[in-house]
Amino acid sequence: MIPSERSHLYAAAITHPGMSGKHNEDRYAVSAYRLEDENSTPAVFAILADGVGGHLAGEVAAEIAVDSISRAVAASDGSTPQETLEYAIVQAGELINRQASRDDEQRGMGSTCACAWVIGDRLYTASVGDSRIYLLREENIRQLTVDHTWVQEALDHGIITPDQAQNHPRSHIIRRYLGSKSAVVPDLRLKLSPDESDAEAVANQGMRLFPGDKLVLCSDGLSDLVSDAEILAAFQENPLPAALASLVELANKNGGHDNITILALKFPNSGETPQGVVVEQKMQNPAIPPSLLPWVIGGAALLGVLLLLVLVVLFLR
């Protein structure tokens, strides 16, 4: 594919470390291309990775995942997107394992990944872990990916109910991720209905997108704390950048226990021409907890008054 300076989709991204003081181990990338064909078909590739592992190793794994998979996609001609994504993800898992074997402090590191590749008006997805991809169409929101977690497996086998899944103590046990000891298996299911078989979900790859459709990729720092209905409402009430900012604010208000990263792609309506590739917003942890902010402001004001009195006394002397 040939890199392009302009995207045929609206795109926006935001990342925030959350409120726990944890280092931000999420990584993402959004890139625009055109295919090397007679029609120069446009394409956009978006990837989000959520690192796992201590001593900053999670961010190393996430960085490897984003860079490696993005390079593999960019080097392809776009003719076999499912095979390209599958190969790229497996290769990224091997690279993470190889890097971890060289450094004891990075041993055991890993990463999730969620990939959305839009070629013209056709969507291809792949995922590993619990980072999600949603489709927002008209008044509806649908999770296209399947979480690779203990809780999701328990739900699938009827061990727990959806109500029990909420805030379950094992909700953060990931069953599949890049860098695991077992060979990573990319998930190519694109779920449009809960009743679909796995084969039917895979056959949905290449589904057509329509004007106004939105794709939302997010780490579990959002999906753990913000409901699907709240995600849908944010995009119904705001343009992309404002919607992302409001969702980060809501996740932090609800606890912000993890890094929060969200990517959004919107298929333009007729007559609209997106400008640029991605609007990126980065927010940092507040240096002062919100609950202490009034006291800090008051203290600063009092200190200012005392300083002014000292200066007046020195001047009179």
State the average pLDDT over residues 153-180.
70
Question: Do residues 48 and 261 lie in contact, with contact meaning Cβ atoms separated by under 8 Å?
Answer: yes
Q: For residue 296, what pLDDT is reported?
A: 35
Q: What is the dihedral of CA 119, 191, 86, 37, to 10 degrees?
A: -10
Mean of the per-residue pLDDT values of the chain: 84
Assess whether pLDDT exceeds 70 at residue 175. Answer: yes
Bridge-based pairing state of the strands 122-128 and 2-3: unpaired
User: Higher pLDDT residue, 256 or 39?
Assistant: 256
Q: CATH code for 2-284?
A: 3.60.40.10
User: Higher pLDDT residue, 270 or 262?
Assistant: 262
Please state which of the ranges 72-81, 269-278, 302-311 shows the lowest mean pLDDT.
Answer: 302-311
Q: What is the per-residue pLDDT across 10-29, written as a single tens digit (0 to 9) for each?
A: 999 999 999 988 889 999 99
Q: pLDDT band at residue 316, thresholds of 50, 70 and 90?
A: low
Q: pLDDT band at residue 51, thresholds of 50, 70 and 90?
A: very high
CA distance 42 to 243: 25
Most confident segment among 32-46, 179-193, 205-219: 205-219
Using the Cα atoms of residue 244, residue 189, residue 165 and residue 136 in order, give the sign of their dihedral: positive
State the average pLDDT over residues 26-48.
91
Could you tell me the two tokens for 53? 């592992």
Q: For residue 166, what pLDDT is reported?
A: 64
Q: For the residues of 150-166, what is the DSSP string, one character each?
A: HHHHHHHTTSS-HHHHT
CA distance 274 to 32: 12
Q: pLDDT band at residue 77, thresholds of 50, 70 and 90?
A: very high
Total-model pTM: 0.83
User: Among 50, 30, 34, which Cα is nearest to 2's?
Assistant: 34
Write the DSSP symbol of residue 214: E
List of long-range contacts for 255-258, beta carbons under 8 Å, 24+ apart: 255/19, 255/225, 256/16, 256/18, 256/19, 256/20, 256/221, 256/225, 257/18, 257/19, 257/20, 257/221, 257/224, 257/225, 258/18, 258/20, 258/22, 258/219, 258/220, 258/221, 258/224
Query: 280 - beta bridge partners?
Result: 13
The secondary element (H helix, E strand) that includes residue 61 is helix 57-75
Domain boundaries, the chain: 2-284, 286-317
CB atoms within 10 A of CB 105: 13
